[in-house]
Structure formats: C-alpha cells, structure tokens
A and B are shown apart, each in its own frame.
Chain A
C-alpha cells in the first residue's frame, strides 16, 4: 500500500491519504494545521549572515520540501528548528520559532525534550560505532526507557516500519557500520522514529545513496506522511515534486539566503509566482 501520488491537490485530499500505509508507530494527525511557525528567522555565523527574514509555517502531518541552490542555508534552517545550531560555533539565531505553543528559541527550554519531539536525519548516514540494536537502544535508554522487553519491542517495530527488519533481524548484534549505505540511512530513520518524534527533519536523506536505495528511502518517507510531520531538504526537484505537499524555495541574494517563495507543492512547480522560482524549477538557473 502506498500513498497514491496522482492526487491533484494533495492537501485537500489529505484526509484519505493520511490513513494509508502499514506504519505502526506514531499517532495519527489528520489535521493540517501549522505545527511549527517560523517568523522573521535570521541566522548568522559570526559576521556572516546565512539566512535572513525567513517566515513560513510547517503543517502538521504534511511533507514540506525545501529546495534551493547549494549554500543558501537549507541545512542551517533545519538546524535552527531543533536548536542544533547551539552546537555550531559562532552560530546565532534571531527571530521567532513556535512549535506547538513552545518557544523554540527560549534559552531556558529543555532542548533534549525539543529534540526528542523533532528528530533529524543527516545527509550522510551517521550510524554510531555500535551494533544495530544498540544504535536504537542507546537513545531510548538515554530517554529513560529501562525495561529490556519494552526496548526490544520498540526496536523490532521501528525496524519493521523502515522495512529493515527482514534484512537485519539475524544480525542485530553485528556492527551497524557494516550495513550498506541505504540500510544505514534507514537505520538512522528508525533510530529517530524510536523516540516517537512529532516532526522529522531530513537533510538530503537520499543524496548519498544510489538510485535504488534512494527509491526505498523515498517510499519510506511517503509512508511517514500523515503520521509524522516531515521537512525534507532535497536537490532532487523531481523527488520534491513526487513526495511533498508543500514546498519552499530558497535563493542566495547578496550572499545571504532568503525564502523566495513558499506554497503548495503543485503551485510552486506548476505556477510559481516568482520569476526566480520559475527559472529554478525549470532547470534554467541554479
């Protein structure tokens, strides 16, 4: 079962597509309302401005794609949403980000809880140098899950969700770094899902993978739709077009990233309001 992709307007038909898919983890969220709203976000690395005045809403249960040329600040934008920017030296964020009535930029916020609710997948798969099982178990234990039976159940469930269970069920205790690239990336997704996040940020999750593995991950992301809110950065315009409900286009102007246009995916690709967007999605620039 797969989300049918020939919906003319994915959002108006969201109600139906959300219930599809054999996914077991994650709650249903069939109500496309803004889950994250970003207002006037600016992001600086030291004296360099990477992003300026970005405002957009991320809708619950939808897949939002961010497209744009290299260096326009897409990764930086994702990092701001789960406060991973705290880890980057010299990075300074201003503006407002609200997540579920929570002020993300609040310095007193417990970022660990925030990051549990907003998971992140990186461009290069980052399996920890542990066994497959320990990769998923470690964050679970860190978040206070102690009972082994419970942990094993979660491990199996999330591995099934990412379609990895059959491939690795006999080698749960072998090193995760021995898996293939595509398997590693799915393991990373499983690891994030195990924490039951509300949002998944994906930074070019397919770009380090071959077309087959990339297709598998893409199918997986589609199945997340409706259960999780997904923000995905991709350089693959066709992929964005295939899977996203909403799309945002970022562009470098005066060496600073700006959001040029944001809207429903179909509108961005078929009837862009902005000339820059039109030339980018038609492959004329960028």
Chain B
C-alpha cells in the first residue's frame, strides 16, 4: 500500500517537474526574447556582428535552406516510400536493404552529416560554403523522417482499394495517384512538417556547409547563416550578443512550435479519419 502511494506521488511529481520545466523554459524565453523582438528586428539586417540590428537575411537564408532541403528530399522520400510499400514485397532483399540503411541514416548524428556535407557537397562536388550545400545536407537528414511517415501513411491505406483498382484493370500507378496518395495525404503532410521542423532546428550540420556569412543571400551559391547558427554564434563568439540571441531563439522556437503543432494536428486528423473509415 505504501509502495503504491509512493509510486503515485513520484509519478505525479515527475509529471509536474516536466510541465514545470517546460513552462519555466517558455516564460524565460518569452521574458528575455520579447525585449528585443519587434517588426524592425525581423526586417532589418544585423549590425555589429548581430548585437544590434535585425535578422532579415538570416531568416531568408533559413527559409532557403529548408526549401532546398524539402524540394530535394520530398520527391525522393515519396518515391522511396512508394517503392517500399507498393512495388516491393515486404520480405524482398532490396526492400529490406533500403529500410535497414534508412534506419541507420535516421540515427546518424547531425555533426556527422556536417562532416559529410563538407567533404561531399562543399569539396567533392565543388559547391563550396553555400546554401545549396547546406540545403542538400539537410535533405539527407530529413529524408528518413519523410520516408518513415510516408510509408506509415501508405501502409495504412486500405488494401481493398488496391485490389478493387486492380480488378478494374487500373495500373498501380493510377491507383496510387487517384486513390492511395489522397488517402495518405494527411500523413504525408504531417511528415513534411516534421521534416521541415527537423531541418529548421538544425545547427551542427550547417556550420561547415552553409557557413556563417550574415549578409542577405543573393543566390543559392552564396553562403548564408541559419537562424540556429546565428543563435550559436551570438551566444558563444559575440560578447554582449545575448539579448539578440534571446530574441532569435524566441523567433526560432515559435516558428518550430507552429510547424510541429500543424504536424500534430494533421496526424490527429489522419488517425481520426482512419477510425471513421474502418
């Protein structure tokens, strides 16, 4: 009896601790971040190594990086997911090989992606320190997330659609396009959001692929500084940059919260839809 009571108390305390920490983190960031946050901060270029001025070029660079990552990774990921679910038997060697290597890819630390991006995109392919190098590196990182969610979405599309479409003499491609992908759409969208979130949060993989330059990027061959790299730089290398860093951190976290909330909402809708269609 007393053991049961003790466990109950401990578990409630833990939950309280986690929620309390979350609220503390959030208010801490709001209090410090709101000091500097303003429209001007969002729309100006950074001055004095970021101590004053704004973050416009940095937000732009971040957006370009994420965009490149998603434009490259989404089609590749969707194609891979479709192959795994619709065009290979689950026990085929090729399918297993692909799934296994994606599992490994998902657990590769981001700093390793940074090393790889530097060696492969920057030097080997000669793209240099550029948004393109950074975006492609992020694409490699986001790929397993996109594939995993797409596979899940497609696997849960009812098999009856596949059989009924085949019985009507439709190609697999047509069944996919008209029936399966629309059914899996919310799951695909949720995965896309998660991928964007992952790419937007990344720092370590970008330091030596897309670089530090905080000027407004003019093309994707320019070096550019991501928001997360900006926070890191202000906190570690720029004395007196804390106020600016707080504001940038708030912007980044709010952006990511929005994206993650959309992803969660889509996932919930998708799961509800599944229950209704059963």
Q: Which residues of A pack against B, CB within 8 Å?
A: 82, 84, 86-87, 89, 111-116, 119-120, 122, 124, 126, 128-130, 138-139, 142-143, 177, 188, 191-192, 195
Q: Which residues of A contact B166 (CB under 8 A)?
A: 84, 86-87, 115
Q: Which of A113, A122, A126, A130 contacts B169 (CB 8 A)?
A: A113
B163, A139: Cβ atoms under 8 Å?
Answer: no
Q: How far is the CA of A177 from the CA of B277 in the complex (A)?
A: 9
Contacts known (A89-B89, A129-B183, A138-B178); A122 close to B168, Cβ less than 8 A: no
Give the total number of A-B pairs whose CB atoms are below 8 A apart: 64
B34 at the interface (CB under 8 A from A): no
Residues in A whose Cβ lies below 8 Å from that of B90: 89
Q: Pick the contact of B179 from A87, A122, A124, A129 — CB < 8 Å? A: A129
Interface positions of B (Cβ within 8 A of A): 89-90, 160-171, 174, 178-179, 182-183, 277
Q: List 17 A-B contacts (CB under 8 A).
A: A82-B167, A89-B90, A114-B169, A115-B168, A119-B167, A119-B168, A120-B164, A126-B161, A126-B163, A128-B164, A128-B179, A130-B178, A138-B170, A142-B170, A188-B164, A192-B167, A192-B168
> In the bound complex, how far is the Cα of B158 from the Cα of A124, in angstroms?
12
B274 to chain A, nearest CB (A): 12
Least CB distance from A161 to B in Å reads 17
Instruction: With CB as the reference atom, state the residue of chain B lying closest to A83.
Output: B166
Min Cβ gap A199→B in Å is: 12
Tell me, rounded to whole Å, the shortest Cβ–Cβ distance linking B275 to chain A.
Answer: 14
Q: Is the CB of B174 within 8 A of A126?
A: no
Residue of A nearest to B179 (CB): A128
**Alpha-carbon distance between A114 and B277 when the two chains are bound, in angstroms:** 30
Chain A nearest CB, measured from B179 CB (Å): 6
Residues of B within 8 A of A139 (CB): 168-170
Taking CB atoms, residues of chain B closer than 8 Å to A111 are 169
* Also in contact, A126 and B164, with CB within 8 A (given A89-B90, A195-B169): yes
Q: Which residues of A contact B169 (CB under 8 A)?
A: 111-116, 139, 142-143, 195
Q: Is the CB of A84 within 8 A of B171?
A: no
User: With A89-B89, A129-B183 in contact, do A122 and B171 touch (Cβ < 8 Å)?
Assistant: no
Chain A proximity of B6: nearest CB distance (Å): 51
Is B160's CB under 8 angstroms from A124's CB? yes
Within the complex, the shortest CB–CB distance from B121 to chain A, in Å, comes to 40
- Nearest B-chain residue to A143, judged by Cβ: B169
CB distance from B176 to the nearest CB of A (A): 12
**Alpha-carbon distance A177/B179, docked complex (angstroms):** 13
How far is the CB of A52 from the nearest CB of chain B, in Å?
Answer: 24
Residue of B nearest to A194 (CB): B168
**Interfacial chain B residues near A129, Cβ < 8 Å:** 179, 182-183, 277
Complex-state Cα separation, A128 to B176, whole angstroms: 12
Q: Which residue on chain A has the smallest CB distance to residue B183?
A: A129
